[in-house]
Amino acid sequence: MAGCASPMSTLQTARTTPKGEVDAYVGMGANVSTSLIGSLAELGQDSADKARSQIEQGQPANLTQEDRENIIGAAISYGLFGPAPVAELGVRYGILDNWDVGAAYTSAGFKLETKVMFLSQRKHGLDLSLGVAGQRQTYEPPVPSFLKDIFQLEDIKRTNIALHLLAGQHFGRGAFVSGGPKLVYTNLELGFIQQIYDATSGSVVVDDSVVMAGGVVGGGLGWKYVFFMLELNALYYNYESNILDTPVAVSGIDFYPAVGLRVQFY
């Protein structure tokens, strides 16, 4: 399941890695989406149970338009924002004193990123930086048990581009805090549907996008070279599409808590 979620973590400070220096981190995060614990998930399960009951009685599933909306909406929620742990292992290198680049291997694929610092704590009382990260992944999402034999997703291709503006401070060499607004643009190539009994038995490919907006806050404690990091991302999303002549609307807040261990080689 870890290959089915996108890492929404930042796991950085607002300060860039010094010129010519390297730091590394290992982290773990997980998606917790409100659309999976709200009425949409319950309605999707009720509609799927209704269809399954009719099929088990030897009858064709008689799904209403509302039932299809509920089932597809629930499947989208699990496919795009399903709860799953994501592990990360990354390194950063300082090109200049105010510009660094990084790369990370995650259980969902590779991530490339860069960050530029505009203000420094030494001169202005706080660090302020702008970062951008990109990731591409292909996965086949797990289908929750209540949707099996009712609905099936094929491969999902997902490209994420994240922007974050971080402000932060370091307290000596033992602690730091940072936070700021965050924006994530996601392009989706969705392979739908293998089965939804009264709709189609074919496959449809949908090319869509969704924008997630919110913020991130985090901090770290340690000494000189090694820091324990704790972070929380909160991003609002509103995905709307039309699939098999069925309007789909999925919205909510994706909470992404993450923990990490950072090592500075300087």
Bridge partners, residue 113, by sequence? 102, 133
Q: C-alpha distances in angstroms, 181 versus 127, 165, 187?
A: 15, 6, 20
pLDDT 10s digits, 82-132: 777 889 999 999 999 999 999 999 887 889 999 999 999 999 999 999 999
Can you tell me the distance from the alpha carbon of 68 to that of 71, in angstroms, rounded to the nearest whole number?
Answer: 5
Residue 25 in this model has a pLDDT that exceeds 80? yes
- pLDDT computed for residue 145 by the predictor: 72
pLDDT at 214 over 90: yes
| Average predicted confidence (pLDDT) for the chain | 84
pLDDT of residue 1: 43
| Residue 185, pLDDT above cutoff 60 | yes
Percent of the chain with pLDDT over 90: 47
Gap between the Cα atoms of 196 and 156, Å rounded: 18
Q: Tokens 């509302």, residue?
A: 66
CA 51 to chain centre: 31
Cα 58 from chain centroid?
A: 40
Greater pLDDT, 53 or 18 = 18
- pLDDT exceeds 80 at position 194: no
**pLDDT tens digit sequence for 215-240:** 999 999 998 899 999 999 999 999 88
- The pLDDT tens digits of the residues spanning 124-161 come to 999 999 999 999 887 776 667 777 767 666 677 889 99
All structural domains of the chain, each given as residue ranges with its CATH number in brackets, are: 15-264 (2.40.128)
Mean pLDDT across 166-175: 94
How large is the average pLDDT for residues 46-62? 75
